[in-house]
């Protein structure tokens, strides 16, 4: 099992998804996280499939990782297929593996506000929050839904002020910060739908 190179004290953001397809919104979130959280790296965890979604038409992992690497093109964004390598299906199991394998690395889980709105549907979501601090990056149309969601309400007692974002990595979980910054309305789902329309033959 080969993980990205680490060293004691490294601050690493974990950003998971199918990346189908990867887009500039993914890169924007990563850039915001690197700057606002004071991270050394962001790892894109390209998953074999999302347990909450239909994965029948999902392109091969290798193809999505190659596309992600082309898009990322950043020395501190690392694209990895660690979930496929270790055989995990759920985020909790992946994070548990990484925190045990790299105990001297300060991991932070990164998600968009749209994901926080449905975070309570994730397997062992409270246990995820107990393993690593969580950074939520604002997304258009998701701000209020996220903070008033079941998970958002539960996490609110562990929220730190946005001005203290750089204290998140290394903080004892559960800890949570909501970051307001430049927002992207790009969505992998919408991009797939637009591509499907463009590829549909006239008259079909």
Q: Digits of tens for pLDDT over the chain (204 positions)? A: 688 989 999 999 999 999 999 999 999 999 999 999 999 999 999 999 877 666 567 899 999 999 999 999 999 999 999 999 999 989 999 999 999 999 999 999 999 999 999 999 999 999 999 999 999 999 888 889 999 999 999 999 999 999 999 999 999 999 999 999 876 665 545 544 444 333 344 555
Task: Output the CA–CA distances (angstroms, integers) from residue 172 to 91, 106, 166, in the order listed.
Answer: 19, 10, 13
Count of alpha carbons within 13 Å of 135, Cβ hemisphere only? 35
Rg of the chain's alpha carbons, rounded to an integer?
A: 17
Question: What domains, with CATH codes, occur in the chain?
Answer: 11-160+182-199 (3.40.50.620)
């Amino acid at each position: 099992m080969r993980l990205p190179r680490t060293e004691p004290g490294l601050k690493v953001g974990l950003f998971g998804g199918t990346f189908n397809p990867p887009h500039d919104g993914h890169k924007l979130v990563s850039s915001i996280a690197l700057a606002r959280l004071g991270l050394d790296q962001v790892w894109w965890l390209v998953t074999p499939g999302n347990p909450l979604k239909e994965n029948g038409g999902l392109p091969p992992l290798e193809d999505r990782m190659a596309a992600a690497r082309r898009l990322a093109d950043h020395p501190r964004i690392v694209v990895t297929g660690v979930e496929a390598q270790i055989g995990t299906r759920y985020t909790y199991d992946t994070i548990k593996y990484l925190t045990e394998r790299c105990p001297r690395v300060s991991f932070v889980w990164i998600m968009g506000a749209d994901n926080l709105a449905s975070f309570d549907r994730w397997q062992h979501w409270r246990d995820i929050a107990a393993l690593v601090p969580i950074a939520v990056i604002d997304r258009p149309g998701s701000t209020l839904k996220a903070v008033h969601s079941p998970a958002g309400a539960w996490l609110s007692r562990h929220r730190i002020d946005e001005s203290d974002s750089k204290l998140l990595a290394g903080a004892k979980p559960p800890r949570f910060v909501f970051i307001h910054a430049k927002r992207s309305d790009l969505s992998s789902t919408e991009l797939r739908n637009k591509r499907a329309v463009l590829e549909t033959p006239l008259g079909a």
